[in-house]
Structure 1
Amino acid sequence: MDFNFSQVVGLIETLYSNTLAAGQVVQVQSQLQQFQKHQGSLQVADQLLDPRNNYSLECQFFGALTYTVQLNQIFSTWGAVVDDESDIDDDETLKGATGTDDTRNMVDQLTLRQLSHLNNLLTQHFVHRQPNLFVIKKVFSNLSLVYCHNFHNWTNPLLSFLGTQDDPSISSLRLSVANIEHHLQASLAGSAQKLQLVLLFSQIIIEDILKNNTMSDHLDQQLHTCLRKEVFVVTEFFVNYSMNLVIEKLNNNNNNNNNNNNNNNNNNNNNTPKLSNDNNQLLADAVRCYTAWTSYISFSYLNSTEKFIIDPTLNLLIKFLLCHQTSDQLINDSDSIFVVIEFLTNLLETNANLLNNSFKQTINDLIFKDWGMNYLNFLNGSGDDDLIENEKSVQDFAKLVISYFELDMVRISKLLVDDSCSYIFQALMKLTAFPGTPILDEEISRDFIEFWLETSDTLIDDTDSLLILLKTTENLQLFKKNFKTLLELLGKTYWTKVQLPLANQTSMKMIKGQYKDEYFSYRRDVGDLFDSMYVIIKDSIFKFLFDNIINNLNVTSLTLQNASEVEASVFLINCMCSNFSEGNVPDEIFGMLVHLFSFHRNEEINFLKIGLITNNSYLMNTTVSFLSSINFFYKSEQGLGFLNEILDYLFNLLSLSIQSKELPGKFQFIVARAIASICSQCRTFLASSLFKFEPLLFNVINSIDFKAFTREKVINSVSFIIQGIKNPQTQGEYIVKLLQLINDQSTKIFSEIKSGRVNNNHDLNILLDYLVSLLDCVLQIARGMQLPEESVIFYNDEERQLVDNFWIADNLGIHSMILQIISGFSLDPELTNIFITNHNNGESLGVTDGSVKINYHNLVTEKCCEIFRAGLCEDINGPFVFADNQIIIDYVLSKFEDTKNRIDVDKPHSSMTLSIGYLFGLLETFVSANYRKLSKEAVTNCIITIFVMNPQLLNSDVDLFTNALQFLNKVIEKKPDLLFYISDNSANYFATILESCMVVLKQSNEKFVIKTVVKFWCNLITLRAGTRENQEYITRIFIDEQFGQKLTNVTFSALLKSTRSNYEIYCDIVRNMIGKYPLQFKQWANNALILINNQRVSNGKKALPDIRQLISKLYLTKGTRKVNMVIKDFWLAANGLMDI
């Protein structure tokens, strides 16, 4: 395709006009890309880059980009000679790797042309004030590209850049550091801009090399050498020269300000560049350039033999910082100081291997002695109005401090036993305690949390190492004492930090709004820190926190500051108490808790009342969380007397949360969960208090106003207490009351719904939600009645016999009541229709935004299955343990038939199939728990009904089939005899099941389905729990009835078509077949692979790799995990892929 100049310019202007549609943009880009590869494109590029032609900046950039394309084309064949020759000497290799004479000459000319363009662009930029820096950077990048490939011929691009400004000839490309002084002194005269440009060019070169380090190893070392001897020498000169200029100017200004040596400037060399009053830009450019170089230097240490000396430059950076002693100096150069601190931090974090011990000590002195403390005092002492602005500077300084210590955390232990180093820890604490509310005003204290955590963990983990480091036991003891003192001070600092600013409405609004997640994440991190510190400071931090609560209670009236301090103390106590358990709580903690709950116990202001008095939801929330984390206390002799009082308080809060519109909605959830936790853990101590719950139980069951979760948790809590009663008669009486209340209320609602008196969907959904919650209450009773441990542990022999006999007799008819409720909810046809045609808005699942819509029928089925499931794993009879296994089987089959008849199998993934999945889940648990007592006839009836009589239903939904197969897997794992009984009386029913499983194995792509069906076949092959007759039966099916061959065919077919992430799943079948049928599988595999290969070839696909070799390799593995590697190689080869 031919191009003319005006056409190219038009396309460029059109491309950047933002007027093209997406398809047109692609078309224009394609045309321009073709042009850039065209032989004559550089002539057009030269015209575009010439500022005198007044083309747009977009055209200029396109011209530079065209050079990039052409250079890449040239360098793509640059090393062709090396590839073609293998026995030439090193000189020839080097010649080939750097192009022919003609191409080298051409590259030299292109380099000069770009340098010439660069000079013109710089004139346009600095003289005519054109904003073309992005074009300049692109030309620099092109020159960097040339240097990376042509460094043998063009050794010093930085000097060439300067040299061509005076002598734009080929000789400027041959400049090296041997001529450095002459060229630098001449080229730098009077211009700080040239300094900045050379620094920018050097930075681009080294960043490009790091980004595109794709040279061969042979050239890499030579490139490293050239960089060190040429480019780095010039760069270092310019960096140091720039910093010396800035430092000299600072010193002169300081002297002038002190009226000393006013004529210093007259002594400056006339060649010294004139700096503006702002030092920031030149220093920033120098530091940015050197940052890139330190990254490269660190890289080169690992990839070359070149060694760089960077100490002179680093010392200049320190010298620059030390020039700033007064507030005015620190203010004027704050941006430059930030740049240097950021550089030093990055150096410590990522390239600390470049630093010697001497410089590390220099950083220590800088940070912690006069300059660092002066700088920190300046930032902290600017007044409240400047805190937010200064916070960024302090945060950067803090990061430098943290990075320095993280080089050697154990070193802190030596500092702690050296009194002369106390100033270091004063500085650390001052930084940690930077004023302001965390996250809102400052993030420094957050940065230090991880540091203090690591310090704490490092220094407590290895006493032996510390003893070696500190040399004497006296020093070790001194360290422990000082470290404890430090952490106590740290604890008080962070205690202040986590106090909610309750009195500041603006701050609280921000905490509740945009900063909510971040702020409370900060508090959790502080809690983790206290948990870690507790190992060292033990009860002293508890004493401080408990004393604070007591002091705040010992007042005549409560303020928001009292509430804030108490909330912070309770929050941190809770963080530490949550990891306590019975047997590992110090006696001192029990004493403090007793004092806390006893203090002003019968007066107006006490611990349990402070949240209510201040009406502060945060304090009440934190208090509730704390109360639910000290179950160890309630079960102790000291705490038992407070248990009922605390539960009364929690139930009072629960009632308050229902009545109050000011408390957040989730507060009910928190309180109800706390009550359930306490009742679960302390059930055996609460039996005598059950009578107090009866009015509440009546309300939560009969009132529709309670949130579903609250209702269910209250019932669950009471059920825990009922379970803790050792007398089954008393247990039964309480359960009857609960079930009767639920049954009466649900029956009443059933009647109301069936009568048609509910006029709109909103009211109907409210009633249906309420019904589901009532059914869930039955489930919560079932879960609460589960034994917390094995019956032989919970009961003595006499109690166990009494309980077992009581529930077998079931004179109170509790089992019948439960079945009546389940039947009413789940098997009533009219009610089922209502459940099916309406959807829950998610509240029953704890979702309140309406994002979840679930069919009520599925919810009810799930709850009923869970009620049955609750008693299946108990090892003693109980209210939810049904001795007659047929009860559960009858329910499953009845519900299955009813649901099946309501499903349209022509509509896959019907929402109704979810209910059947719950039934299969119940059967799976049922078999797992009762397989020893199950009759073959009962299981046979189930399997025939599900698998044989309803294949269309199962095949309509792969998820449903997977659920059914999981049940079948459980039968095979536990008692396969139950499954094979089918074959004796049911003709080919088992073969029908196998055929269905074969189809799923062949067609499924979902990983969880493949895993389930593969597990089925592996269980069937191995039959670990099978009898000898079972083994013989399966062998007959696999060999005589050809299912072994069929399975092998399907397995290899599915395996070869599977994705990379799935093929390994099928290997389990191969491994088990080799182990179980070693003689037959060899032939089965050969037949299967030949069949698959023939089909592939006839379809025009690539033939399979050597089949015999595959089978030989498989048999060498002897069915071990090595099969997977053999299959992997075969799968890759068959699919034309390579291992990565």
Structure 2
Amino acid sequence: MNCKFFGALTYTVNLNLHIGELTKTENEQQLNQIRITLLNQVLQLINNGAVLHSGMFVIKKMLSNLSLLFMNSSRTWTNPLLTLINCVVFDQVSNSTIANNQIDKALSSLPFSKIYVLLIFAQILAEELVKKEATNVSNVQTHHLVHEHLFPTVQKLMTSLLNLSPERKLIDTWLDCLVSWVGYASKAEFDSTERYDLIELLSMCISLVTSTDYAISQKAIETLSEALETNPSFFNSQLKADLLSMLFGDVGVQYVRHFSSQQDEKSVADFARLIIAFLDTDLKSLLLKLNDDENAYIFDFLIVLTNYPGTPIEEESVSREFADFWLRFADYCICEDTTLQTLLNDKPGGHQALSERIKALFERVTQIYWNKAHVPEDEEGFSQYKQEFALYRRDVGDLFESVYPLVKLPLIINLLITIERSIQTGKLEDIEPSLYLVTCISKDFGDGEVNHQLVQHLSAILDANLLPIVLQVKTDRFRYLVSTTIQFFSSADWFYKTETGTKYLPQILSFLFDCMTNTNLYQLSSSKAISSICSQCRYSLVEFLPSFETIITEMINNTTIDPVVRQRIINAYASILEGVKDPVVQGENLFKLFDLLDKKSLSVLEGLATANPDERERMVDYLTSLVNSVSAVGRGMQLPDDVDGYYTQDQESKVREYWTTDPLGIHAKLLTIITNFTMTNEVLSENYQIIEEAVNLFKCGLTEPLPGPFVFDCATILQFIVTKFNSLKKSDAYPLLYSLLNSVVTAHYRTMDLEALHGAIDTIFLSKIPVIEDDPDLVQSSFNLFSTMLSTRPSLLLSNEKLLMTLLEFAFRHLGSNERFVLKSLEKFWTRFITLRKGDRQDTVMVKRLFNETELGYVLTFNVLKYMFATQRSNLETFIEIIKQLVAKYPLMMSKWLQEAFPKLNEEREKKIQNWEIFVKKIMLTRGTRSANDLIKDFWLEVNGLINYN
């Protein structure tokens, strides 16, 4: 058999190699001879009993070869299936052909084994047609020929075959063939104007569902599902009526009952998939059926299937199939509510009655999924599919969220009542799914969605000692209860915004702290919840500050605490401190915190030099976490974006006075911490993360409208930048310092001291140009900094002639960069320099003189053109924008610059640029508008010998 297969494979290889040549008109006779040879080979194979019995793979390969031949010669060989039927019937290759209406008679004389081969060929043809990739014209021609000639034969073969009462193997293949032709017909309808009538075949498939052989019934169900999911438009109203009658009638009930009794959940799930695929085709019809009591049996059956017995995922997947369906149906009910009102307008109370029925239906559905959402108690078995069950629960949560607008408040109230009742009865396993689903429904609640009943029931649950009970059962069995409780209170900001809810904040925070400190299992989730609550409710938690002090001390002193947890808790503490309107209280608490951080970090810093590599790595991670925590305080202490009305006039005055005088020396303490971390220790001085957090710390106060603990004057920050820059041995952290200076310029450009700024730029730019030239990230950082100066206060740059001239030369050179991000930063620099939108009169005059009275404009134009024609297409935008700005701002001069630049370019280029004079005239006519874009792109393509396929 292997030899025969390799022989068939040899045909395949040679056909693929030579098919293009063979399909030429002059080779038609040779192609016909190859076809005859292949058909003879197929006949020999199917007349060999041994091959039919155990070598079907060889026959299939040869049939694929025939299919390949057909794909490439369909205009001359329009019906390969009819050709093969003729060969099999007459047992020879001949020119005589039987008609389609003679196929049923011809098949009756053939053994099933040969009919099976014909059916396989019909299937292979459809599958190969789906795979075929060709030009649109070729596709349309092929689709027309298949519809006109091949498909009628396929249809006749398939209908005739079923009338012969074939064996199961043939019916299985018949169903596979139908799936393949549904797939092809759908593709053909999408790619062409051909339209397929599959009603007869699909009707026969529906009749197979009622087969007494449940294996056939099962396969027919899978086939119908695939057909509906592929293209539901193949089913007309009669087919849909037949399906409805079958699915929800005795056939469907018996089918589910049979496979349920066999504990064959997969077959029931496949049946559910068919029902869902069928219902999805017309949700409007389903919804209107809900309004008629005669259709109650349909919804009752759907509820029975949804409530299929067993633990989800482990024992049943039917409810998972239906979860997505019910969600889509709920969304449809919501989206089409206005349409339904119009439809039911002629029936008094009709819309209200339907709304009540929808609500009642989804109350039944949600009750089922509440039961299904319980975490299984068998932990050992559950661990094998825990992740899949989590995805299932997520889908259930999404369903409840979608259903809530339909069922409204009773849905969430009933869940809260269930929790309260479960606490009273000690039925703890019901608390977790209820709380999980409440979280899913309420996590995005706005202020208008919070009803007093909701607040009242949640308060009752807390009063019933929910949190102490959860803490008492922190065992493996109930760990989901703990996690879900943490998750709920992390997202219940709608509750904390109410006057009643704020009273429970101490109790809730105490619970979260307990979860965080007593086990590593909940550290991350509970710290996230604490941080979120403190950020949302900072003004209600001032009295909680003393409780934080012990926790904060533990966070800083315990080196084993997860760094993320440490930062979150310190950030939470800072959020509450920000809510304290008294600067004295703020200062005292901050001083304690920073003093503790300073002392602890010093003790660790002292041991760095003598620590072994493993210890040193742990110590550096801990120190990085500490400095992260300091910048976390800065972020937590930031004032709201809209500060007007935040303080009374008297409070604002006290804040200004306190932080200006800084009686406890908090600014000095922070600078000491920064110096210790970034300057004095060799191990940390080059550490990127440490420097990044120091930079973030300075940035925290830059945009603050009032003096504060993290607000430093410009001179202090500039001094840090210069000192740190000079101390660095490597350039990795240079971009961080550029970014900090950029932020300082953005925040304080109006009041910056020019001498101090230029001194800093001398250090970080002018003295380091050789280093910067070789590092694209530094080049980008440099241009970003100078672009910021030009867009805020151009005189910061223009007043320093040495800096400006050096920078312009630097900017010319880097027009030749291959890095897209560098070119984008250059584009920003040059366009802002050319337009100078924020400059005063003196700045504007200076830049205009540079362009009008020096070689600047010509040199820029020449370099832009030179590098533009050498760059890749994806980088063109940078050069286009610069040219457009030059044309718009300096139209007369730009024409002159272009006319001088192109001849000079041609002197340097091996391949001369043609028609540039026409380009210059056209580009000047655009006046720098958007129309220049395509003009420049087309000229670039022309110069580079490329074609614009658009």
Which of the five TM-score ranges fits, normalised by the shorter chain? over 0.9
Partner of 2:691: 861
Q: Deviations over 1:713-758 (max 9, x none)?
A: 222111111111111111111111111111122222233335x4x3
- Which of 961, 971, 980 is matched with 2:789 structurally? 971
Q: Does 1:1010 align with 2:823?
A: yes
- Local SS of the residue matching 2:109: coil
Check the 8 A contact 2:312/2:372 in 1, yes or no. Answer: yes
Q: How does 1:539-554 map to 2 (within 5 A)?
A: 539-554=409-424
Amino acid at match of 2:452: D
- Which of 699, 705, 708 is matched with 1:875 structurally? 705
Q: TM-score, normalised by structure 1?
A: 0.79
Partner of 1:842: none
CA distance in 2, matches of 1:297, 1:64: 26
Q: Does 1:498 align with 2:373?
A: yes
Q: CA deviation at 1:685?
A: 1.4
Q: Deviations over 1:951-988 (max 9, x none)?
A: 112113111221222122211111111111112xxxx3
Partner of 1:908: none
Check the 8 A contact 2:81/2:118 in 1, yes or no. Answer: yes
Q: Deviations over 1:478-501 (max 9, x none)?
A: 111111112222222222222211
Q: CA deviation at 1:310?
A: 2.6
Structure 2 spans left out of the alignment, 5+ residues: none
Amino acid at match of 2:344: L
Q: CA deviation at 1:1068?
A: 1.4
Q: Deviations over 1:755-802 (max 9, x none)?
A: x4x3x1222222222222222222122122111343223212222222
When residues 1001 and 610 of structure 1 are mapped into structure 2, their CA distance, relative to the original with a 3 A threshold, is farther
Partner of 1:569: 434
When residues 595 and 1131 of structure 1 are mapped into structure 2, their CA distance, relative to the original with a 3 A threshold, is same
Partner of 2:164: 245
When residues 435 and 316 of structure 1 are mapped into structure 2, their CA distance, relative to the original with a 3 A threshold, is same
Q: Deviations over 1:825-865 (max 9, x none)?
A: 2221xx1x1225xxxxxxxxxxxxxxxxxx6x212111111
Q: Does 1:66 align with 2:14?
A: yes
When residues 940 and 238 of structure 1 are mapped into structure 2, their CA distance, relative to the original with a 3 A threshold, is same
Q: CA deviation at 1:811?
A: 1.7
Partner of 2:679: 827
- Local SS of the residue matching 2:873: coil
Q: Does 1:110 align with 2:58?
A: no
Partner of 1:1113: 922
Partner of 1:533: 403
Q: Deviations over 1:550-601 (max 9, x none)?
A: 2322235xxxxx4443221111111222102334312221111111101147
- Which of 532, 536, 540 is matched with 1:685 structurally? 540
Q: CA deviation at 1:699?
A: 2.1
Q: Deviations over 1:133-173 (max 9, x none)?
A: 34423332333344445556544332322322464667x33
Q: How does 1:291-370 map to 2 (within 5 A)?
A: 291-301=179-189, 307-324=195-212, 329-330=213-214, 333=215, 336-370=216-250
Larger helix fraction of residues: 2
When residues 610 and 357 of structure 1 are mapped into structure 2, their CA distance, relative to the original with a 3 A threshold, is farther
CA distance in 2, matches of 1:610, 1:539: 31
When residues 1110 and 812 of structure 1 are mapped into structure 2, their CA distance, relative to the original with a 3 A threshold, is same
Check the 8 A contact 2:179/2:223 in 1, yes or no. Answer: yes
CA distance in 1, matches of 2:239, 2:478: 53
Check the 8 A contact 1:687/1:722 in 2, yes or no. Answer: yes
When residues 430 and 1124 of structure 1 are mapped into structure 2, their CA distance, relative to the original with a 3 A threshold, is farther
Partner of 2:843: 1030
Q: CA deviation at 1:300?
A: 4.3
Q: Does 1:486 align with 2:351?
A: no
Partner of 2:178: 290
CA distance in 2, matches of 1:223, 1:962: 55
CA distance in 1, matches of 2:787, 2:949: 34
Alignment length (residue pairs): 948
CA distance in 2, matches of 1:1058, 1:887: 43
Q: CA deviation at 1:188?
A: 4.0
Q: Does 1:796 align with 2:648?
A: yes
Structure 1 spans left out of the alignment, 5+ residues: 1-50, 79-99, 247-274, 557-561, 658-662, 837-854, 904-912
When residues 522 and 1050 of structure 1 are mapped into structure 2, their CA distance, relative to the original with a 3 A threshold, is farther
Check the 8 A contact 2:738/2:781 in 1, yes or no. Answer: yes
Q: Deviations over 1:899-932 (max 9, x none)?
A: 1xx13xxxxxxxxx33221111111111111112
Check the 8 A contact 1:156/1:175 in 2, yes or no. Answer: no
- Which of 601, 604, 608 is matched with 1:746 structurally? 601
- Local SS of the residue matching 2:732: helix
Partner of 1:392: 266
CA distance in 1, matches of 2:240, 2:903: 70
Partner of 1:990: 804
Q: Does 1:205 align with 2:18?
A: no
- Local SS of the residue matching 2:499: coil
Q: Does 1:808 align with 2:660?
A: yes
Amino acid at match of 1:491: T
Q: Does 1:461 align with 2:335?
A: yes
- Local SS of the residue matching 2:127: helix
Partner of 1:845: none
Q: Does 1:596 align with 2:515?
A: no
When residues 1131 and 496 of structure 1 are mapped into structure 2, their CA distance, relative to the original with a 3 A threshold, is farther
Partner of 1:257: none
When residues 229 and 553 of structure 1 are mapped into structure 2, their CA distance, relative to the original with a 3 A threshold, is same
When residues 876 and 582 of structure 1 are mapped into structure 2, their CA distance, relative to the original with a 3 A threshold, is farther
- Local SS of the residue matching 2:283: coil
CA distance in 1, matches of 2:241, 2:904: 75
Check the 8 A contact 2:4/2:58 in 1, yes or no. Answer: no
CA distance in 2, matches of 1:956, 1:105: 67
CA distance in 2, matches of 1:931, 1:463: 56
CA distance in 2, matches of 1:190, 1:169: 14
Q: Does 1:196 align with 2:6?
A: no
CA distance in 2, matches of 1:460, 1:209: 41
Check the 8 A contact 1:195/1:238 in 2, yes or no. Answer: no
- Local SS of the residue matching 1:871: coil
- Local SS of the residue matching 2:500: coil
Q: Does 1:898 align with 2:898?
A: no
- Which of 922, 940, 944 is matched with 2:762 structurally? 944
Partner of 1:160: 83
Check the 8 A contact 1:366/1:372 in 2, yes or no. Answer: yes
- Which of 605, 609, 612 is matched with 2:471 structurally? 609
Q: Does 1:1001 align with 2:815?
A: yes
Check the 8 A contact 1:716/1:784 in 2, yes or no. Answer: yes
Q: Does 1:671 align with 2:523?
A: no
Partner of 1:850: none
CA distance in 1, matches of 2:68, 2:567: 70
Check the 8 A contact 1:672/1:714 in 2, yes or no. Answer: yes
When residues 550 and 72 of structure 1 are mapped into structure 2, their CA distance, relative to the original with a 3 A threshold, is same
Q: Does 1:629 align with 2:491?
A: yes
Amino acid at match of 1:1019: R
Q: Does 1:778 align with 2:608?
A: no
Q: CA deviation at 1:444?
A: 3.4
Partner of 2:309: 435
Q: Deviations over 1:331-373 (max 9, x none)?
A: xx2xx33332232222222222222212122222222222122
Q: Does 1:705 align with 2:575?
A: no
When residues 59 and 316 of structure 1 are mapped into structure 2, their CA distance, relative to the original with a 3 A threshold, is closer
Q: Deviations over 1:1058-1091 (max 9, x none)?
A: 3332222332112211111112222333443444
- Local SS of the residue matching 2:226: helix
Q: TM-score, normalised by structure 2?
A: 0.94
When residues 151 and 644 of structure 1 are mapped into structure 2, their CA distance, relative to the original with a 3 A threshold, is closer
Partner of 2:381: 507
CA distance in 1, matches of 2:111, 2:337: 60
CA distance in 2, matches of 1:226, 1:691: 85
- Local SS of the residue matching 2:163: helix
Check the 8 A contact 1:791/1:876 in 2, yes or no. Answer: no
- Local SS of the residue matching 1:494: helix
Check the 8 A contact 1:563/1:610 in 2, yes or no. Answer: no
Check the 8 A contact 1:177/1:230 in 2, yes or no. Answer: no
Partner of 1:1139: 949
Q: Deviations over 1:1095-1137 (max 9, x none)?
A: 44x2xx5x54532333333233332223222222223333324
Amino acid at match of 1:196: Y
Compare 152-161 and 640-649 and name the one that shifted more: 152-161
When residues 944 and 213 of structure 1 are mapped into structure 2, their CA distance, relative to the original with a 3 A threshold, is closer
